[in-house]
Amino acid sequence: MEPLSLYKKAFTVEMRDVDFTGTLRLSSLFTYFQEAANQHSEDLGIGFETIMEKFGVIWALIRIRVEILRYPVFNEEIVVETWPQEPKNLQFIRDFLARDQKGHIIARAVSIWAILDAQTRKLQRSKLIAANYPSSFKEERALECKLGKLKPFGPLEMAYERFIGYSDIDFNEHLNNTKYVDLIMDCFSLESHKSHYVRSIEFNYVHEALPGDTIVLYKDLNAADENLIYIEGINEKEKKLAFQSRIQIKERS
């Protein structure tokens, strides 16, 4: 049977998924995307557990851009659609759309994934697991954009530092990609969240963070007048860049 290139998964926005505004947390949207991607990968025979057992590799999210048109509210039902592009040498590209019950698009995303050796954490070629991919691919893209390097607009200022503990790590024993979103949101005061929300966010995941690490977060507000903010995290112990991000904010009406 030909593997399906498009996968759909329904979600109900639960109490645990919303913030003080009663709308979906940005990190919860990332979780929905992750769950849909994992389930589709399982259906294709290349889910997290399967590729670990068969090939000794793990999935890793490398880059992602998400644009939010509207945040769903508590108890709202939405559907996440996801589909892969044809694998490249070292990259797996996957797109996402989130729709409301009327079929209107409320969020869209493009992402780049890779597979890493579970022990050495070195990149592995996509052909190792790509045999189970569909033979045809959905041509539509959720977003027409190129995911590349991110740079600060000017000088950085320290926001805070965060110790990585048990509650932060996932199946791969490192800081889960959804947790990085919460780290970024905690760079801002509650008053800032009351006056503005995130319209789009782009991430480059550079080096994984492990339990026991401390991530020092820095933010750059030099382009805040243009509603753009750059944030990065440095692994204090390794003195390495952990992630880079750029967010576009919008004033609440």
| Centroid of chain to Cα 34 | 7
Mapped onto helix, strand or coil, the DSSP state of residue 251 is strand
The tens digit of pLDDT for each residue in 82-113 reads 999 988 889 999 999 999 999 999 999 999 99
* Domains of the chain, earliest start first: 7-132 (3.10.129.10), 157-251 (3.10.129.10)
CB atoms within 10 A of CB 115: 24
Which regions in the chain score pLDDT beneath 50? 1-2
Question: Residues 117, 124: contact at Cβ < 8 Å?
Answer: yes
At residue 1, the pLDDT reads 43
107: left (phi over 0), alpha (psi -120 to 50) or beta: beta
At residue 127, the pLDDT reads 86
Q: What percent of the chain has pLDDT over 90?
A: 83
Give the bridge partners for 61, in sequence order. Answer: 113
- d(CA 192, CA 197) in angstroms, rounded, equals 8
Model confidence, pTM: 0.94
At residue 22, the pLDDT reads 98
At residue 3, the pLDDT reads 53
Tokens describing residue 111: 């992402």
